[in-house]
Structure 1
């Protein structure tokens, strides 16, 4: 067994992928062989989960190393010799290409988030303080065929400015400086989806007022989490506008002409979800 620092680091990352994969499976974010994870090893290589494996039943020696073109480059083990990289590897690689700061990518299928995307309900809002600070606004892509070049195109521009993206009718992609951060952003995203459903069922769903959102954005900037272009997004969605933006877009607020119809959609989705969970008739 090698004691070279690079080997030790790689082995540690393999074990972390297995651990996070098990968490995803246990919490229902990736069932059967859904979902995939990756970690950047260096500028030329990425560790990623193999295709076709349950994320709750992987072993460290099954994890695959690929280059930035998605080719399997080793090391080969008895456990991964016949395995191939996840079919979504090119979506992961696109994220790494677009942002050198990304150290890990998590793709999952959190059920409540996916259900809301099918219902046409956006989670790009200013509801939860922790989400605003740690995740920012979360856009939803147009539908793209999973594991296809369309999926890569769908995230290409959005990933530059966002740490979490909802893939319509498909799942989510969250990124971070490390695998744990990317995974925690997945948890936060599914949590806000669940809260959105329950809030609408209760008939309450007021976003935070702009002055409170601005305080949270100041924290976000202080923590080094702010992304390029998000100031304009928060102005458009949440009404947190600098004087310059207010001059360009006077009267911008977080509401839209479709608010009432969207609320009705969420209410119906909420009822269906709660019935499935045994909380309603």
Structure 2
């Protein structure tokens, strides 16, 4: 979905996302945060210390790319501060000019997977391969500070979905609505993977040639990132073409030597 150009419409959409996150159980209490990039480059962000499922549009706060508050305070947000995870949000916008929306949540099953040490980077669900891509998990970092920003800094350049170990999720997109939809897909994927492990683990992963078709689809819809293909090759057991060529050449060399010995 395209990001609303009208600021008030965008404020309402962020509040709707907050309600959905609360209703779906992706956040609890005052946790979670949402932001969106405005057309002029400023960032519209949810406030800290406020239940995201019960926000009003006039409670959102505008900051610049350095995190300075630049809006005119209203009675509704005068005493509020921007989200405590603002540094992490700003890092996404600094690293990715295509990112227009960021959603941070605490989806319970996905977070539980990081605690249990279950890897998200498995080629088991077609929709996850195409829409979510590879989902790395960051090292543990203390929430609400520069550690979280540093933990995601390099990974967010090449991924739209990250898991923050023991903590939560981070999803980005070219609209805040699509960033939220990625959160939904992430938790749905986590539920399936968890069930698979409860049933004894995957018995028949998707065949490598079928995974390659999914990678092609991801590329055609503009979601393939630099290094994605190589990452999928490693995660899904697909032979890298260049590695395959090297192996073929080594085998040919062995055969040539064997034939030479026979001739001698």
- Give me the TM-score of the superposition, normalised by structure 2: 0.89
1:88 aligns with 2:85: yes
Match status 1:213 vs 2:211: yes
> Rg bigger for which structure?
2
Written as runs of structure 1 = structure 2, the 5 A alignment for 1:249-268 is none
Q: How far did 1:207 drift?
A: 2.3
- CA pair 146-58 structure 1, distance change in 2 beyond 3 A: same
Query: Residues 29-82 of structure 1, C-alpha deviation per residue, up to 9 Å, x if partnerless?
Result: 011001000000135310000001111000000010011111111032210111
Q: Deviations along 1:83-129, whole A, 9 cap, x unmatched?
A: 10000011000001101010100000000111110111111111111
Partner of 1:223: 221
Q: TM-score, normalised by structure 1?
A: 0.83
User: Compared with structure 1, are the counterparts of its residues 27 and 128 closer, same or farther at alpha carbon in structure 2 (3 Å cutoff)?
Assistant: same
Pick the aligned partner of 2:125 from 128, 153, 158. 128
- Among 35, 49, 52, which residue is 1:52 paired with? 49
Please provide the CA RMSD for this pair.
1.7
Higher relative contact order (CA 8 A, sep 6+): 2
Provide the secondary structure at the position in 2 that maps to 1:174: strand
CA contact (8 A) 1:232 1:241 kept: no
Q: Does the CA-based 8 Å contact 2:104-2:171 persist in structure 1? A: yes
1:188 aligns with 2:192: no
What's 2:230 paired with? 232
Give the SS at the match of 1:185. Answer: helix
Pair 1:124–1:43, CA change in 2 (3 A):
farther
SS in 2 for 1:56: helix
Is 2:35 aligned against 1:24?
no
Does the CA-based 8 Å contact 2:103-2:179 persist in structure 1?
yes
Determine if contact 2:115/2:165 at 8 Å carries over to the other structure: yes
Contact 2:215 2:229 in 1 (8 A): no
- How many residue pairs align between the two structures? 244
Given the alignment, which residue of 29, 34, 37 partners 2:31? 34
Q: 2:142 aligns with which of 134, 142, 145?
A: 145
- DSSP-derived class of the 2:54 partner: coil
Report the alpha carbon displacement of residue 245 of structure 1 after superposing the two structures with TM: 4.3
Cα distance, 1:249 vs structure 2: 8.8
Secondary structure in structure 2 of the residue aligned to 1:28? coil
CA shift at 1:204, angstroms?
4.3
Alpha-carbon contact 1:36-1:106 (below 8 Å) kept: yes
Secondary structure, aligned partner of 2:222:
coil
In the alignment, what sits opposite 2:70?
73
Aligned match for 2:103, one of 83, 103, 106? 106
- 4+ runs deviating over 4 angstroms: 247-250
Q: Secondary structure at the match of 2:123?
A: coil
State the secondary structure of the residue aligned to 1:77. coil
Deviations 1:177-201 (A, max 9, x none): 1011101111111111111111122
Cα separation, 1, equivalents of 2:247 and 2:86: 40
